[in-house]
């Protein structure tokens, strides 16, 4: 009986192996411990050529090597871009592209991607997408955890073409799939209006090449209307171009340091403001946990010079600078090259900017337009005016 039992156990185990369809097979190849990467890649290619049953895209294999090499840095901000991704990347930084008109933000710990802003009259808005929708799929591609820049390349595309997007909405995480028709979108990165008490309100959604001109126009228009105080809203602003935010700060800061960076060798580069322009009315800067990078440079400078109050919640804490390197063949790589510091020498990487007045956002179900953080900013402004 024991022998029979062992036989049955062996038969069941063998059947399980067959059902699973997996097994370990020795390939008869022995790499030395000091084998070069070229030798190992050659062995892997040989195994694929001889054994892999699927279709092989040699170009995709090569791209995978480059992407994996940069991913080995374990730096979420350093990325390799192929030709198509590089083209889309440069279009994005210019502020004009063929896409759907939505601002995306990603939580680095969970990999969750949120549509933090939908442009008015954009393809995204026409398709029914809303602020704070959680993006889960582009077409059939699961995007949670994927590099945000790569996700953007899937969303953008030729004008007139369609893209399906699946999102989770609301507390019940209702799954919704919509189809958006891509169109030429010029990022409307600045919105402004005059609020009560002649307080100017200026919202900046990102720092692109087009942002400076929009920001300068908004400041001039609000000033012409008799602005006696200014609220700059950087909530959900993921950052952008370092030069752009420095040019914008030069319009409001007194003469002095805007921000400085230090590279791996300790070499310092400093951006400064002149005394030609500076704000002469009280300021309040609104921030939250999605205010990152260039947004934190802006808020940090205003706070260090003491020319405005920071209101909201702790910012994201991205205090490092990336540079895009053109590899000469249409591809590129983005690498973290330096850490930045506020005028007073504060490093906020992993820490963020702590508001002078902390207030959590509280949604009002009875009044979707209500904004308790903005209301607090107006209260603070009244005290300063």
Judge whether 293 counts as a catalytic residue: yes
Tell which wins on pLDDT, 117 or 144. Answer: 144
Judge whether 49 counts as a catalytic residue: no
Tell me the pLDDT band of 22, cut-offs 50, 70 and 90.
low
Tell me the pLDDT band of 89, cut-offs 50, 70 and 90.
confident
Catalytic residue among 78, 122, 293, 332: 293
Span 350-363, average pLDDT: 96
34-43, 106-115, 137-146, 249-258, range with the lowest pLDDT: 34-43
Tell which wins on pLDDT, 164 or 32. Answer: 164
Contacts of 45 (CB under 8 A, 6+ apart): 61
* Domains of the chain, earliest start first: 96-186 (2.30.42.10), 190-319+337-384 (3.90.226.10)
Tell me the pLDDT band of 5, cut-offs 50, 70 and 90.
very low
**pLDDT in the model for residue 357:** 98
Judge whether 329 counts as a catalytic residue: no
Average pLDDT, the chain: 90
Catalytic residue among 67, 318, 334, 376: 318
Whether residue 20 is predicted with pLDDT greater than 70 in this model: the reply is no
Most confident stretch, 10-14, 26-30, 213-217, 361-365: 213-217
- pTM of this prediction exceeds 0.75: no
Q: Please list the residues that pair with 162 across neighbouring strands.
A: 181
**pLDDT in the model for residue 82:** 93
Tell which wins on pLDDT, 37 or 273. Answer: 273
Q: Please list the residues that pair with 194 across neighbouring strands.
A: 200
252-270 pLDDT tens trace: 999 999 999 999 999 999 9
């Amino acid at each position: 009986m024991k022998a029979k039992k062992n036989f049955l156990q062996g038969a069941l185990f063998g059947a399980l192996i067959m059902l699973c369809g997996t097994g370990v097979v020795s390939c008869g190849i022995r790499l030395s411990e000091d084998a070069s990467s070229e030798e190992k890649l050659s062995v892997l290619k040989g195994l694929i050529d001889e054994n892999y049953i699927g279709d092989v895209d040699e170009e995709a294999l090569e791209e995978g090597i480059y992407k994996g090499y940069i991913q080995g840095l374990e730096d979420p901000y350093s990325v390799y871009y192929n030709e198509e991704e590089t083209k889309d990347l440069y279009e994005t930084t210019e502020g004009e592209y063929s896409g759907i008109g939505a601002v995306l933000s990603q939580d680095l710990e969970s990999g969750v991607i949120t549509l933090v802003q939908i442009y008015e009259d954009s393809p995204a808005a026409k398709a029914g997408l809303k602020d704070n929708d959680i993006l889960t799929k582009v077409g059939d591609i699961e995007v949670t955890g994927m590099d945000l820049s790569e996700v953007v390349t899937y969303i953008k595309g030729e004008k007139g073409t369609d893209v399906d997007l699946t999102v989770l909405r609301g507390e019940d995480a209702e799954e919704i799939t919509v189809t958006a028709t891509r169109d030429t979108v010029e990022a409307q990165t600045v919105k402004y209006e005059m609020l009560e008490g002649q307080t100017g309100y200026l919202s900046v959604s990102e720092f692109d090449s087009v942002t400076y001109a929009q920001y300068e126009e908004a400041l001039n228009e609000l000033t012409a209307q008799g602005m006696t105080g200014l609220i700059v809203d950087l909530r959900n602003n993921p950052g952008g171009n370092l030069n752009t935010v420095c040019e914008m700060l030069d319009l409001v800061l007194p003469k002095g340091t805007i921000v400085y960076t230090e590279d791996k060798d300790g070499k310092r580069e400093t951006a400064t403001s002149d005394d030609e322009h500076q704000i002469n009315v009280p300021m309040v800067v609104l921030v939250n946990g999605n205010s990152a990078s260039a947004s934190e440079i802006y808020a940090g400078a205003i706070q260090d010079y003491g020319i405005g109050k920071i209101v909201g919640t702790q910012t994201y804490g991205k205090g490092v600078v990336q540079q895009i390197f053109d590899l000469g063949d249409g591809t590129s790589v983005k690498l973290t090259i330096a850490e930045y510091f506020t005028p007073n020498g504060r490093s906020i990487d992993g820490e963020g900017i702590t508001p002078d007045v902390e207030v959590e956002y509280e949604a009002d179900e009875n009044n979707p337009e209500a904004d308790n953080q903005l209301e607090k900013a107006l209260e603070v402004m009244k005290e300063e005016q």
